[in-house]
Protein backbone atom coordinates (compact mmCIF):
# COMPACT_ATOMS: atom_id res chain seq x y z
CA UNK A 1 0.00 0.00 0.00
CA UNK A 2 2.80 2.39 0.87
CA UNK A 3 4.51 1.75 -2.46
CA UNK A 4 1.30 2.27 -4.39
CA UNK A 5 0.81 5.64 -2.70
CA UNK A 6 4.34 6.73 -3.69
CA UNK A 7 4.82 5.91 -7.38
CA UNK A 8 7.38 8.72 -7.65
CA UNK A 9 9.67 6.82 -5.27
CA UNK A 10 9.57 3.79 -7.56
CA UNK A 11 10.48 5.97 -10.57
CA UNK A 12 13.26 7.68 -8.62
CA UNK A 13 14.65 4.30 -7.57
CA UNK A 14 14.55 2.94 -11.12
CA UNK A 15 16.17 6.11 -12.49
CA UNK A 16 18.91 5.92 -9.86
CA UNK A 17 19.60 2.26 -10.69
CA UNK A 18 19.77 3.07 -14.39
CA UNK A 19 22.25 5.89 -13.76
CA UNK A 20 24.41 3.65 -11.59
CA UNK A 21 24.41 0.88 -14.18
CA UNK A 22 25.23 3.35 -16.96
CA UNK A 23 28.10 4.73 -14.90
CA UNK A 24 29.54 1.24 -14.35
CA UNK A 25 29.15 0.46 -18.05
CA UNK A 26 30.85 3.69 -19.08
CA UNK A 27 33.64 3.00 -16.64
CA UNK A 28 34.35 -0.41 -18.11
CA UNK A 29 34.01 0.60 -21.76
CA UNK A 30 35.99 3.82 -21.60
CA UNK A 31 38.40 3.18 -18.75
CA UNK A 32 41.18 2.21 -21.15
CA UNK A 33 40.64 5.34 -23.21
CA UNK A 34 40.69 7.53 -20.11
CA UNK A 35 43.96 5.95 -19.04
CA UNK A 36 45.91 6.74 -22.20
CA UNK A 37 49.16 8.00 -20.79
CA UNK A 38 50.44 9.27 -24.12
CA UNK A 39 48.56 12.41 -23.09
CA UNK A 40 50.33 14.92 -20.84
CA UNK A 41 50.57 13.79 -17.22
CA UNK A 42 51.85 15.25 -13.97
CA UNK A 43 52.06 14.27 -10.34
CA UNK A 44 52.92 10.83 -9.03
CA UNK A 45 53.72 8.80 -12.15
CA UNK A 46 53.54 5.54 -10.17
CA UNK A 47 50.18 6.19 -8.51
CA UNK A 48 47.30 3.83 -9.27
CA UNK A 49 44.86 6.68 -8.59
CA UNK A 50 44.37 8.60 -11.83
CA UNK A 51 42.60 11.93 -12.26
CA UNK A 52 41.63 12.98 -15.78
CA UNK A 53 40.69 16.56 -16.60
CA UNK A 54 38.92 17.75 -19.76
CA UNK A 55 39.42 21.49 -20.14
CA UNK A 56 39.70 24.50 -22.42
CA UNK A 57 42.34 27.19 -21.86
CA UNK A 58 39.96 29.95 -22.90
CA UNK A 59 37.14 29.01 -20.52
CA UNK A 60 36.80 30.95 -17.28
CA UNK A 61 35.76 28.03 -15.09
CA UNK A 62 38.81 26.06 -16.24
CA UNK A 63 40.95 29.01 -15.19
CA UNK A 64 39.30 28.99 -11.77
CA UNK A 65 40.50 25.41 -11.21
CA UNK A 66 44.17 26.10 -11.91
CA UNK A 67 45.26 26.48 -8.28
CA UNK A 68 43.21 23.46 -7.18
CA UNK A 69 44.77 21.31 -9.90
CA UNK A 70 48.26 22.43 -8.91
CA UNK A 71 47.52 21.54 -5.29
CA UNK A 72 46.23 18.07 -6.21
CA UNK A 73 49.42 17.46 -8.19
CA UNK A 74 51.62 18.84 -5.40
CA UNK A 75 50.00 16.44 -2.92
CA UNK A 76 51.84 13.64 -4.72
CA UNK A 77 49.08 11.05 -4.40
CA UNK A 78 47.65 10.98 -7.94
CA UNK A 79 48.68 10.73 -11.54
CA UNK A 80 47.00 13.66 -13.29
CA UNK A 81 46.12 13.37 -16.99
CA UNK A 82 45.34 16.45 -19.09
CA UNK A 83 42.89 16.13 -21.99
CA UNK A 84 42.84 19.33 -24.03
CA UNK A 85 39.26 19.87 -25.18
CA UNK A 86 39.08 23.12 -27.18
CA UNK A 87 35.42 24.06 -27.62
CA UNK A 88 35.43 27.87 -27.68
CA UNK A 89 36.81 28.55 -31.15
CA UNK A 90 40.12 29.45 -32.72
CA UNK A 91 41.89 30.69 -29.59
CA UNK A 92 41.01 27.50 -27.74
CA UNK A 93 42.23 25.31 -30.58
CA UNK A 94 45.41 27.37 -31.00
CA UNK A 95 46.24 27.03 -27.32
CA UNK A 96 45.50 23.28 -27.27
CA UNK A 97 47.73 22.64 -30.27
CA UNK A 98 50.48 24.79 -28.77
CA UNK A 99 50.28 22.94 -25.46
CA UNK A 100 50.63 19.56 -27.14
CA UNK A 101 53.47 20.84 -29.33
CA UNK A 102 55.27 21.82 -26.12
CA UNK A 103 54.49 18.36 -24.71
CA UNK A 104 56.28 16.76 -27.67
CA UNK A 105 59.33 18.96 -27.14
CA UNK A 106 59.58 18.42 -23.38
CA UNK A 107 56.76 16.72 -21.47
CA UNK A 108 57.93 18.40 -18.26
CA UNK A 109 57.28 21.80 -19.84
CA UNK A 110 53.61 21.02 -20.51
CA UNK A 111 52.59 21.91 -16.97
CA UNK A 112 54.47 25.20 -17.29
CA UNK A 113 52.47 25.99 -20.41
CA UNK A 114 49.24 24.92 -18.69
CA UNK A 115 49.88 27.30 -15.80
CA UNK A 116 50.97 30.18 -18.00
CA UNK A 117 48.12 29.86 -20.50
CA UNK A 118 45.42 29.61 -17.84
CA UNK A 119 46.93 32.60 -16.03
CA UNK A 120 47.34 34.70 -19.18
CA UNK A 121 45.42 37.96 -19.00
CA UNK A 122 44.06 38.42 -22.49
CA UNK A 123 43.17 36.64 -25.68
CA UNK A 124 45.28 33.60 -26.57
CA UNK A 125 46.35 34.97 -29.94
CA UNK A 126 49.39 33.82 -31.91
CA UNK A 127 51.48 36.56 -30.29
CA UNK A 128 50.27 35.53 -26.84
CA UNK A 129 51.16 31.89 -27.49
CA UNK A 130 54.68 32.80 -28.61
CA UNK A 131 55.07 35.01 -25.55
CA UNK A 132 54.05 32.11 -23.28
CA UNK A 133 56.33 29.67 -25.09
CA UNK A 134 59.27 32.05 -24.75
CA UNK A 135 58.55 32.66 -21.06
CA UNK A 136 58.60 28.94 -20.23
CA UNK A 137 61.97 28.50 -21.91
CA UNK A 138 61.03 26.94 -25.24
CA UNK A 139 62.87 28.14 -28.33
CA UNK A 140 60.39 29.53 -30.88
CA UNK A 141 61.99 27.68 -33.81
CA UNK A 142 61.79 24.38 -31.91
CA UNK A 143 58.18 25.18 -31.12
CA UNK A 144 57.39 25.85 -34.78
CA UNK A 145 59.12 22.61 -35.77
CA UNK A 146 57.08 20.66 -33.23
CA UNK A 147 53.82 22.24 -34.38
CA UNK A 148 54.61 21.26 -37.97
CA UNK A 149 56.16 17.84 -37.41
CA UNK A 150 53.55 16.66 -34.91
CA UNK A 151 50.50 18.36 -36.46
CA UNK A 152 48.84 15.10 -37.46
CA UNK A 153 49.31 13.45 -34.10
CA UNK A 154 48.21 16.57 -32.24
CA UNK A 155 44.98 16.74 -34.24
CA UNK A 156 44.33 13.05 -33.55
CA UNK A 157 44.84 13.56 -29.82
CA UNK A 158 42.41 16.47 -29.75
CA UNK A 159 39.87 14.56 -31.84
CA UNK A 160 40.08 11.50 -29.60
CA UNK A 161 39.53 13.65 -26.51
CA UNK A 162 36.49 15.23 -28.16
CA UNK A 163 35.06 11.84 -29.13
CA UNK A 164 35.66 10.45 -25.65
CA UNK A 165 34.00 13.47 -24.06
CA UNK A 166 30.97 12.97 -26.30
CA UNK A 167 30.80 9.26 -25.46
CA UNK A 168 30.94 10.07 -21.76
CA UNK A 169 28.07 12.51 -22.17
CA UNK A 170 30.20 15.50 -21.25
CA UNK A 171 28.43 18.69 -22.29
CA UNK A 172 30.18 21.18 -20.06
CA UNK A 173 33.73 21.91 -18.94
CA UNK A 174 35.83 21.57 -16.99
CA UNK A 175 35.16 17.93 -16.19
CA UNK A 176 37.28 15.98 -13.73
CA UNK A 177 37.11 12.19 -13.77
CA UNK A 178 38.10 10.31 -10.62
CA UNK A 179 37.40 6.60 -10.58
CA UNK A 180 33.86 6.10 -11.87
CA UNK A 181 32.77 9.65 -11.01
CA UNK A 182 32.58 12.71 -13.23
CA UNK A 183 32.68 16.15 -11.61
CA UNK A 184 31.37 18.90 -13.87
CA UNK A 185 32.36 22.52 -13.39
CA UNK A 186 34.97 24.25 -11.29
CA UNK A 187 34.97 21.63 -8.56
CA UNK A 188 36.98 22.80 -5.58
CA UNK A 189 40.04 21.17 -4.10
CA UNK A 190 38.26 19.92 -0.96
CA UNK A 191 35.67 17.91 -2.88
CA UNK A 192 38.17 16.42 -5.31
CA UNK A 193 40.62 15.63 -2.50
CA UNK A 194 37.84 13.89 -0.57
CA UNK A 195 37.02 11.73 -3.59
CA UNK A 196 40.69 10.83 -4.05
CA UNK A 197 40.93 9.84 -0.38
CA UNK A 198 38.16 7.30 -0.91
CA UNK A 199 40.38 5.55 -3.44
CA UNK A 200 43.59 5.74 -1.43
CA UNK A 201 42.30 4.67 1.99
Q: Which domains does the chain have, with CATH numbers?
A: 33-200 (3.40.30.10)
Share of the chain above pLDDT 90, in %: 55
Write down the pTM of the prediction: 0.82
Q: How many CB atoms lie within 10 A of CB 22?
A: 11
Terminal CA-CA length for the chain: 43
Residue-wise pLDDT tens digits, 29-82: 667 777 777 899 999 999 989 999 999 998 888 888 889 999 999 999 999 999
Residue-wise pLDDT tens digits, 131-150: 999 999 999 999 999 999 99
In this structure, what is the dihedral angle of CA atoms 129, 132, 136, 142, given to the nearest 10 degrees?
A: 30
The overall average pLDDT reported for the chain is 85
Identify the CA nearest to 104 among candidates 66, 151, 70: 151
Question: Is 80 within 8 Å of 73 (Cβ atoms)?
Answer: yes
Phi, psi at 21, each rounded to 5°: -65, -40
Phi, psi at 7, each rounded to 5°: -60, -30
All residues at 6 or more sequence positions from 158 whose CB lies less than 8 Å from its CB, including other chains: 84, 85, 86, 93, 96, 97, 100
Amino acid sequence: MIICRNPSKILDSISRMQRDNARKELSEIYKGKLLEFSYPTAGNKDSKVVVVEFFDYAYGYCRKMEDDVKQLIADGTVKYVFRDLPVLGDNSLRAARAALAVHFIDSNKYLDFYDAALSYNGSLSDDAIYEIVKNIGIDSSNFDDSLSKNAGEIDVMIRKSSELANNLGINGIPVTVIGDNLFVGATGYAKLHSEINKLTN
